[in-house]
Structure 1
């Protein structure tokens, strides 16, 4: 019986792990609970009734300014970042399997964006686009292009400066994942496909792509979730509009109702939904790959 008893160290480590889980997920669960208060609810416990009142207010757009427009902006930006991150990471990982001049410098420059503080990256991108704006306006004045002077405001925007800022955050993660995948990739499969007469495109399409597809789902997950939650790199490079995280950050000092908790729960729910879909995608990709192997 004594041999079956767990040692004291097990319970100490279990308690530490439980405390870590509470610390990690406790705030999210607290916001979830407080978001289901009644119409008289406040920002702290105890609960003032239980209802979905604040979700109805959020859905109607009655208490938060232009929240659904910022939601759509974040969604579209996240989807574009996801696609670009996945495609570029795949092609870059495939290209880095062969040596080429400047390979090390290019890799270090890509990873360097993870080291530089996010706010510095955002300020740098904003400065670049201000220089572009000044150049465009100077050109319009020098050559008397009236419609540019009248209509042009700035090149900064959701799919220009903000997109670039987000890619400096998502691409390094995607590249590192694909580098790890291709480092373990069996080269003999490609050689055998070439021996059987497959063209380079056929080798990539029918051999390489099916095997790395589960990893691409993970890259896509990183791309979307990192973009969806990004604040620091977006703050100075977004232009005159806001993404959903920026709206949420701005509301923390002005909103005094549980509506902000409902909004936070929706934002978190979207991230969780993307993660679930990613796991399903990985599972489906693995099953398809297994079927291809088995014929």
Structure 2
């Protein structure tokens, strides 16, 4: 028997893995290719020409909705969610290293948002803010505050209800990452720093933060990309303004040209670019740290 011959199980597992990769990345690759259709191209194969016509059309605006306004809204919301997720996850992971009353309850409440269906979370947040709106309007009428009754519209918005909805999705992931990091954190390094006279802030800044910084990059990436692509939790919680994924979802029933594929390629490209720039930043930081250590 040829010992170099691979067993049947290898080929079965290889076929399953290949199908998995095709299923996972095939739709993205298909949209990417179809977005370069020529001016007479349609939404299916075969390609009719090869050009950047639909990207140029997208850049000029569709005439149906303001794509770039929703693009900016998604970008700003994603950045705010990224910062808050990173900071809160870091501080929470640091705090959870010591026992405190209600620790288990707080942890379970935080993780519970991953179990509850996203659309239910969105509906719950929308209902909560509608109750706030009703309370404000009732207060204005009861106290005859005409300026408040006439000028108040809604507390629901991009950086209120929308921000809260996205944080219910990103924070649990960030917390789980930081909990895992701090569970393996070498506490003797902090003890050595304290023995040398470092204050608690100095220990955190010069010992803890540099060691967990690579994990914080991962938390930041989770925060931005999960917010950037979020649909279900945004669907009922944003009020009158839509993010880019919601606009893209709406366009699927109104736009019948490869322009929608161009938009999908752009949104995917933003996520890939953010991840690539983050890895590049980490690599540069490591090289600088190594160069500083050597010389």
Deviations 1:182-223 (A, max 9, x none): 000000111110111111100000000000000000000000
Total equivalences in the alignment: 295
Q: Unmatched 5+ residue regions in structure 2?
A: none
Q: Unmatched 5+ residue regions in structure 1?
A: none
- Report the Cα distance in structure 2 between the residues aligned to 1:152 and 1:287, rounded to whole angstroms: 53
| 1:95 alignment counterpart | 95
- Report the Cα distance in structure 2 between the residues aligned to 1:180 and 1:293, rounded to whole angstroms: 28
- Report the Cα distance in structure 2 between the residues aligned to 1:12 and 1:227, rounded to whole angstroms: 37
| 2:280 alignment counterpart | 280
The Cα of 1:18 is off from its aligned counterpart by 1.1
In 2 relative to 1, CA 143–161 (structure 1 residues): closer, same or farther, beyond 3 Å? same
| 1:245 alignment counterpart | 245
Partner SS, residue 46 of structure 1 = coil
| 1:56 alignment counterpart | 56
| 2:45 alignment counterpart | 45
The Cα of 1:291 is off from its aligned counterpart by 6.2
Q: Tell me if structure 2 keeps the 8 A contact 1:78–1:224.
A: yes
TM-score, scaled relative to structure 1:
0.96
In 2 relative to 1, CA 249–62 (structure 1 residues): closer, same or farther, beyond 3 Å? closer
TM-score, scaled relative to structure 2:
0.96
Deviations 1:129-159 (A, max 9, x none): 0011011111111111121111110000000
Please give the residue correspondences for 1:60-79 in structure 2 after superposition, counting only pairs within 5 Å: 60-79=60-79
In 2 relative to 1, CA 172–294 (structure 1 residues): closer, same or farther, beyond 3 Å? farther
| 1:110 alignment counterpart | 110
- Report the Cα distance in structure 1 between the residues aligned to 2:205 and 2:107, rounded to whole angstroms: 25
